[in-house]
Amino acid sequence: MMVLDQESPTAAHWPRAQYESVLTTSNPLSQRVGWVVELGGKPPSEAPELLGFLIAHRVDTEWELENVIVAEGARRRGIGTSLLNEFIEHVRAENGSAIFLEVRESNQVARSLYRKAGFEETGARKSYYSAPRENALLYRRRIS
């Protein structure tokens, strides 16, 4: 995950400790979930190639989509769409009420993906991101 994070200029660029703590929680109303897409077919002694991942955080009935990254060589093959659709179905199955997220203003590919998935832009956070400094746009999707 760290490798994909570092290779993606639009990623949230989490520190290693944050990735390591992704799936640990002690509060039943607050949990993190993650999905990965791997390329199999390698010998058992080799780790599969990570093509993409999605990490989300639940607080009560709402979910925050925290991080989605697809490897550069795997983009435009539907991996991000598949990850997002699986996540939306998970939220629906868990009786979630909404999903929210923030995305770099310049990340047109992600913004298009979110709009196609039914997310609506709801606001902005000035200078939210660093490295490079950039505004975040807020998106939300209600789950019915």
Encode pLDDT of 102-135 as tens digits. 999 999 999 999 999 999 999 999 999 887 889 9
Name all domains of the chain by residue range, CATH numbers in brackets. 2-103 (3.40.630.30)
Tell me, yes or no, if the pTM score tops 0.75: yes
Which position has the token pair 């196609």? 116
Please check the confidence at residue 79 and state whether its pLDDT lies above 80: yes
Predicted pLDDT of residue 50: 86
**Share of residues in the chain with pLDDT > 70 (%):** 86
CA angle 129-74-108, nearest 5°?
Answer: 40
Structure confidence by residue, pLDDT tens digits, 57-68: 998 999 999 999
The owner of tokens 């769409």 is 81
